[in-house]
Amino acid sequence: MEALILDVPAKTATVKSIPIPSPAPNELLIRVHAIALNPVDALYTFHPLALPTQQRTVGSDFAGTVHKLGSSVSSPHLQVGTRVAGFLQGACSVNDRPGAFAEYLVVPHDLVWRVPDSMTLESAASSLRVFIYGASTSLGQYAAQLVRLAAKSSDRPAVLFAAASPGRHAMLRAPPYSYDGLVDYRDEEWPGKFLEEQRQARVDYGVDCISEGESVKRVSKVVNPTGGMAVFRSRAGKAWTAEEGELPFEPIYGAVWEGLGVEIEYYAKAREFTVAFYSFLSNMAGTGLELQPNSIRLMPGGLKNVVNDGFALLGPGTMGDRSNARTEDYMKPISAEKLVYKLVDE
């Protein structure tokens, strides 16, 4: 099979032919139909953590069909041909586990969720007040939907605010996001203006989908000190400096890899939650709690174009590092989209 393999000395990745893996008794062999790109995939390709001698398959997110079940997998919900999605860690840490950007992969049988028929594999107290920074990102779009679904399932109303580009405000005001208030993220004074409009009433929770230093500080200003805030880069990852008194609280940071339940450098026992969450995703069709797929940009070329095109758009580090002079329509700056490559034509 073909796979996108990390080249540590060259700080890039190339498509190579490697053996198709065999599933362990509790695993599934997945035929990968589509992959989705994340900034972390590009980051650790251009700034590799692996040893120079390691041949690591890169990439995190995948969707595909079950090709083979491990000998001990017995489930009425998982059969050959079942459409599933999930993630792997790939070359995003010092471990040697393979990633998702390959024609086939193996994954524990309980760490996938069944893709509903309505979704393509490419897309695969008082009121609660929440503020999401970077609301038009793929992460932000799903975060808003999960807030709405949590409010609906708990019969607790939610008021949702966000910072995003004005060009995306109309989209974010509409279902399934239905934001109650929006500010322009490019306005450096937005925290003060937001609090003035809200009569100094702060939100209960903040979610910073960008987490690049200044954004963390600004979002923290609109969150109640007794509330909570989630970021997606740690202090060690330089999301913000560690000056005393800089923030009113310590934001919650958790890497998605923790959900795999295996030891990594920031290990946490989150596998039980991941299994339960995937079960929720697999069984919510027809319940009125369905997630709607985010917009995708279907990129041409498959695995061979991921590095030169997709990773070029994502950039080697922060959003400020993203620059691209190419003129192809599919190479325009990313906005409210997820970059997706098809590995199988259907």
pLDDT score recorded for residue 1: 97
Q: Residues 189-233: pLDDT tens digits?
A: 999 999 988 878 889 899 999 998 889 999 999 998 878 999 988
Nearest to 61 by CA among 45, 83, 40, 77: 40
pTM: 0.77
The candidate with the shortest Cα–Cα distance to 24, out of 63, 82, 75, 71, is: 71
Paired strand residues for 86: 62
Q: Could you read off the pLDDT of 119-152 as tens digits, one per residue? A: 788 877 446 889 999 999 999 999 999 999 988 8
Task: Answer whether residue 320 shows pLDDT above 80.
Answer: no
Burial track 310-346 (b if 16+ CB lie within 10 A, e otherwise): bbbbbbeeeeeebeeeeeeeebeebebbbbbbbbeee
Sequence-separated (6 or more) residues with CB below 8 Å from residue 102: 1, 2, 3, 4, 18, 32, 57, 59, 303
N residues, the chain: 346
| Confidence band for 346, pLDDT divided at 50, 70 and 90 | low
Domains of the chain (ranges; CATH) run 2-119+290-342 (3.90.180.10), 128-253 (3.40.50.720)
Is residue 158 scored above 80 in pLDDT? Answer: yes
What SS3 state is found at 272?
Answer: helix
Specify the pairing of strand 113-114 against strand 83-87. antiparallel
